Amino acid sequence: MASEHGEKKLGLRSVVSISVGLIIATSCLVSLGQGAGTIGVVFVFAMIIACLLNMTTVASLSELNALMPNTTGGLAQYTLACMGPFPTLISMVGGYLICNMLSCGVEASIFSFAMSDTFSMLPLPSLAYTFIVTLLLMIANLYGVDIFAKIQDIVAFLLVGSMLVMGIIGAIGLGTGAKVEQPYSMTTDFSSIASMTAVAFWLFIGAEYVIPVSKDVKNAKRNVPLGMMIGLGLICVVQIIMVFGFHNYVEWGELANSPAPHLLYGMNLLGPFGKMWMTLVAAFAVISTQNSTVNALASICQGMAKMNMMPQVFAKTNKRGVPYVGVVFVSVFIFIFAALSNNSSDAISFLILVGSVFWMISYILAHIDVLILRKRLPKAPRSFKVPCGPLFPLIGIAGTVYMILNISSDPSERNAIWILTGLTFFVLGVYSFFWIKYKMRMPVFKSVPVEKVMAMENSMYYTIRKRRGTWK
């Protein structure tokens, strides 16, 4: 936010706190547990690789934001300026909407398991907890009540703080539970470690969502990319400490097969108190995450409908100004994804990996956007530029492609992920082609000039296009 005199007041610490709050989630704890449970403490090497690759993505997105400041559409607008509406629509619907609903559904599934496990005395099936919370949050959002907006950051830091405290207690062996004797490493094969980078990748996504607030950041050229880098590094350190705690108190096999490894670890470390602690903090985090996801994605659907990139029904609002169709649509799909992964660590892991592929593809597009715009607009002013020429974007592309090709160490699971992702993108591709050609009436693959993309921030742009009959 800016002051009355136009002075920007968000400093480096605020950027770090926002990025950390956006990255951390309970599904990260599942990925952390499954990764460590599969290969042991050496999973930290996969985490470091994934963290460094995410840093290259953060750097690329920072450069794109520096070239096109004050835009709110992020990757969609950058890709529109580079490759045209077709990959933009696919990446926005597939890489953003679907991926966020899927990840939120997985979060909800973890929540339902945690609640049913902790409160087993209640005669409720686990999915009932997800249904109740999803319904209540949908109603709250339909009434325009953002019930968790004020405590979102607090909840995120409670989760991070809990991870740090419980990680340290476990790593130095101060837990009240019995310590476990087990090897540090389950493998010495580098390819096995490298194949786990895709699992580790999920631990670090989301830092880039700081970029839309960059206009409110003091010395954004320095603080936005640096703050995101520090946030990623901080999360990496905290989760490394957790892995060493896991090693001392949870058998690797149990950890890998648990739908809620944070509860298992809390119980083994500090008994019922530790389990309840992690349950409550994680529950608040899940509810907060789902609330913000429903709110944000409904608004994105509304914005895309105004841009004629989605059916106009998503632009409709109720008497409170809430895009109610988007709220219901997102809530229903979150529940569907939660039901698909309900009480199954294998299903949770599978959906996390599918979500990772969607996200990785959008990150590859970000790197490609940087390279294209450098070639097309070499002299355009940029307040931030990724150092070392094309090196880091190319490393980001190569590393991310490698993670997609090695998304799972299980060949059958890997093929299933590729097939599901491929079919999803094929359906999105067919929809996007016909929608752009016959509804938006735009060239399918023709890039849109940067200045025109930036003009799209103004609602008059769409009013004029409709009046001219350019859009149906």
What is the identity of the amino acid at 187? T
Mean pLDDT of the 293-314 span: 82
Mark 252-281 as b/e (b = at least 16 C-beta within 10 Å). Answer: bebbbbbbbbbbbbbbbbbeeebbbbbbeb
Structural domain of 453: 12-464
Mark 210-248 as b/e (b = at least 16 C-beta within 10 Å). Answer: bbebbbebeebeebbbbbbbbbbbbbbebbbbbbbbbbb
Dump pLDDT digits (tens) for 399-415.
Answer: 999 989 888 878 898 89
What the block records as the tokens of 268 is 């083994």
Beta strands in 4-161 (DSSP E): none
- CATH number of the domain at 194, please: 1.20.1740.10
In a domain, 7, yes or no: no
Helix (H) or strand (E) holding 109: helix 99-118
Dump pLDDT digits (tens) for 422-434.
Answer: 998 899 899 889 9
Say what the pLDDT of residue 5 is: 45
Say what the pLDDT of residue 311 is: 86
Say what the pLDDT of residue 408 is: 80
In a domain, 99, yes or no: yes
Please say if the pLDDT value at position 111 is more than 90: no
Torsion 446-449-452-453 (CA) sign: positive
Mean pLDDT of the 206-229 span: 80
Dump pLDDT digits (tens) for 339-352.
Answer: 988 867 778 778 88
Terminal CA-to-CA distance of the chain, rounded, Å? Answer: 37
> How many Cβ atoms sit within 10 Å of the Cβ of residue 443?
13
DSSP-assigned letter for residue 208: G
What is the identity of the amino acid at 101? M
Total number of domains in the chain: 1
Torsion 107-259-407-238 (CA) sign: positive
What the block records as the tokens of 327 is 């709220």
Highest mean pLDDT pick, 201-205, 373-377, 450-454, 455-459:
373-377
Q: How confident is the model at residue 470 (pLDDT cuts 50, 70, 90)?
A: low
What is the identity of the amino acid at 23? I
Q: Are 328 and 135 in contact (CB under 8 A)?
A: no
Say what the pLDDT of residue 92 is: 77
In a domain, 3, yes or no: no
In a domain, 2, yes or no: no
In a domain, 33, yes or no: yes
Distances (CA, A) of 442 to 90, 97, 369, 472: 15, 22, 20, 11
Angle between helices 411-435 and 345-376 (to 10 degrees): 50
Mean pLDDT of the 54-59 span: 92
Dump pLDDT digits (tens) for 442-467.
Answer: 888 888 888 887 777 676 766 776 67
Distances (CA, A) of 288 to 293, 323, 377: 9, 19, 41
Please say if the pLDDT value at position 20 is more than 90: no
Dump pLDDT digits (tens) for 22-32.
Answer: 677 777 788 89
Say what the pLDDT of residue 182 is: 92
In a domain, 422, yes or no: yes
Say what the pLDDT of residue 149 is: 57
In a domain, 379, yes or no: yes
Say what the pLDDT of residue 1 is: 42
Q: How confident is the model at residue 17 (pLDDT cuts 50, 70, 90)?
A: confident
Distances (CA, A) of 227 to 14, 219, 233, 234, 300: 8, 11, 10, 10, 25
Highest mean pLDDT pick, 81-90, 101-110, 159-168, 239-248:
239-248
Dump pLDDT digits (tens) for 168-180.
Answer: 999 999 999 999 9
What the block records as the tokens of 130 is 């997800």
Q: How confident is the model at residue 398 (pLDDT cuts 50, 70, 90)?
A: very high
In a domain, 469, yes or no: no
Please say if the pLDDT value at position 2 is more than 60: no
**Average pLDDT, whole number, for the chain?**
84
DSSP-assigned letter for residue 436: I
